[in-house]
Amino acid sequence: MNGRPVPVPTPLSEPFWAAARRGELVVPACPDCGLRFFVPEPACPGCLSARWRYQPSAGRGTVYSVTVVHRAPGPGFDAPFALAVIDLDEGGTMLSHVDAGDPGRVVIGMRVRVDLRALTDEITLPYFVPDTSA
């Protein structure tokens, strides 16, 4: 362990972490209004329905916004790194690291795909990498 903070699953987020451990990306989706969103909330941020469920995502998308973090936010983070908002192809967005080798190579409009990486035996994090199949 490198000292990086480890997310603590909650009853609301445990299905997300369980799917990531299986190598799958899932996101909350609301059957009432069709909104896909992240992070999971008790109610859909679009219509306030509590009926949302996790739905599979292909894990592909486009960089909507990016910043290069030059100062590590705490122990266990290697800086600099690219932190981006990803527009997922199925709808919804995720905030995630984008690993393109050089953080300066990550640009708005870049096609990316998820790359699930184990942080611990219990926690697998979604990173994104350039999607070379695009």
Averaged pLDDT in 10-residue chunks for the chain of 134 residues: 82 97 97 96 97 97 97 89 97 96 96 96 96 82
In which residue are the tokens 């972490």 written? 17
The pLDDT of residue 134: 58
- Give me the pLDDT at residue 10, please: 96
Residue 9's contacts (CB-CB under 8 Å, 6 or more residues apart) are 16, 17, 122, 123
Please tell me the predicted confidence (pLDDT) of residue 5: 87
Strand-pair partners of 8: none
pLDDT of residue 1: 45
